[in-house]
Amino acid sequence: MPKQRDSGIEAADARLAWCCIAPALLVIVAIALVPLAWAAWASLHRNDLRMPWLGQSFVGLGNYAEAAGDARFRESLAHTGLFTAVSVAMELVLGLCLALGLHRAARLRGVIRMAVLLPWAIPTVAVALVWRFMFEDGYGVISAIWSPSSGGWLVGASAAWVPLILSDAWKTTPFVALLLLAGLQTIDDGQYEAARIDGAGRARQLLHVTLPALVPTIVVALIFRTLDAFRVFDLIYVLTGGGPGTSTETVALYTFNSLFGRLRFGYGSALSVIVFVVTFGLALLYIRALDPQRRGGDR
């Protein structure tokens, strides 16, 4: 900045800044940080709301030890990992194809913008219900075309994942494409020009110009989608309810069931702390992975 700031203005600025920030900080501390700390504290206690007369007793890491030995919890972790890996991979690949296609089709941009935003904005509950209806045995439009076994899609332990993953991809691929499209639009035309002069065809341009330039955007999309997919709740609660049995139950769903189904607030809090730690670990991992890329891109 060319002009010199005198220290009086600087101090007034800082005072004003803290006044502006205070309400937001207060809210965030009160409804996000305090509850998080409370959850951590509650996870060290037994607190069974079905038997309130037992009170809350300190059990140390007992709830975490129980979680480590809980087969249903381990399965729910595996389910979540599976759902996250498959749906995010699908969404990134499809989204990249879609973005590359849209980048060329400048004419249709208006229609496409609406088409891209609509699935993203529709309530997940509505999406889940519509997809469940399409996969219902006997009268669902997709079951009418093909159904895996007697009883249909929603009663098969593996088959039930198909509507879950397809509906997630349906809802979020357009959003991924939107992010990647924004990334594509920042690539300098000169780079393509240079590649063309060097005799690079379309495929080589894609491989050597487009994709490397797009890496930071891809990583951002990957972060968003992984974190979202890992805490998936609405879609599964409504579409399969975690069933058949518990074969599509994810960690968020199992945590919810422990809390509000079995009213085990101590154990449920321990599970929610685990979800938090895993989510945060993933976020940190990605951010560290992104950093060198960014510096490379800024050169």
Partner 1 sequence: MTRWLPRLVTVVVLAVWAFPLYWAVLSSLTPEARLFESPSLWPRAVTLEHYQTLFAERDFWTPIRNSLIVASATTLSSVIIGALCAYAIARLHFRFKGAVLGLILAVSMFPQISIVSPLFLLLRRLYLLNTYAGLVLPYLSFALPLTVWLLVAYFRQLPADLEQAAMIDGAGRLTILRRVIAPLAVPGLAAAAIVTFIFCWNEFLFALSFTVGPRRQTVPVAVALFRGQYRVPWGQILAASVLATAPVAALILVGQRWIIRGLTAGALKG
- Residues numbered 14-43 forming contacts with partner 1, rule: CB under 8 A: 14, 16-18, 20-21, 23-25, 27-28, 31-36, 38-39, 42
Q: In the set 90, 148, 220, 243, which binds partner 1 (CB under 8 A)?
A: 220
| Contact status, residue 208 vs residue 95, Cβ threshold 8 Å | no
Q: At what angle do helices 109-121 and 161-185 cross, to 10 degrees?
A: 140
Contact flag: residue 259 with partner 1 (CB under 8 A): yes
Q: How far apart are CA 299 and CA 70, in angstroms?
A: 50
Contact flag: residue 256 with partner 1 (CB under 8 A): yes
Q: In the set 46, 67, 80, 174, which binds partner 1 (CB under 8 A)?
A: 174
CA distances from 112 to 98, 178, 185 (A): 11, 10, 16
How many CA within 13 A on the CB side of residue 226?
19
Candidate segments 63-71, 148-156, 205-213, 251-259, binder of partner 1 by CB under 8 A: 251-259
Contact flag: residue 280 with partner 1 (CB under 8 A): yes
Q: In the set 51, 61, 65, 105, which binds partner 1 (CB under 8 A)?
A: 105
Contact flag: residue 178 with partner 1 (CB under 8 A): yes
Select 209 or 264, whichever has its Cβ closest to partner 1. Answer: 264
- DSSP run (H or E) holding 158: none
**Strand partners of residue 58:** 45
Contact flag: residue 252 with partner 1 (CB under 8 A): yes
Q: How far apart are CA 299 and CA 287, in angstroms?
A: 19
Residue with tokens 């501390």: 29
What is the smallest separation between the CB atom of 249 and partner 1, expressed in angstroms?
13
What is the smallest separation between the CB atom of 279 and partner 1, expressed in angstroms?
5
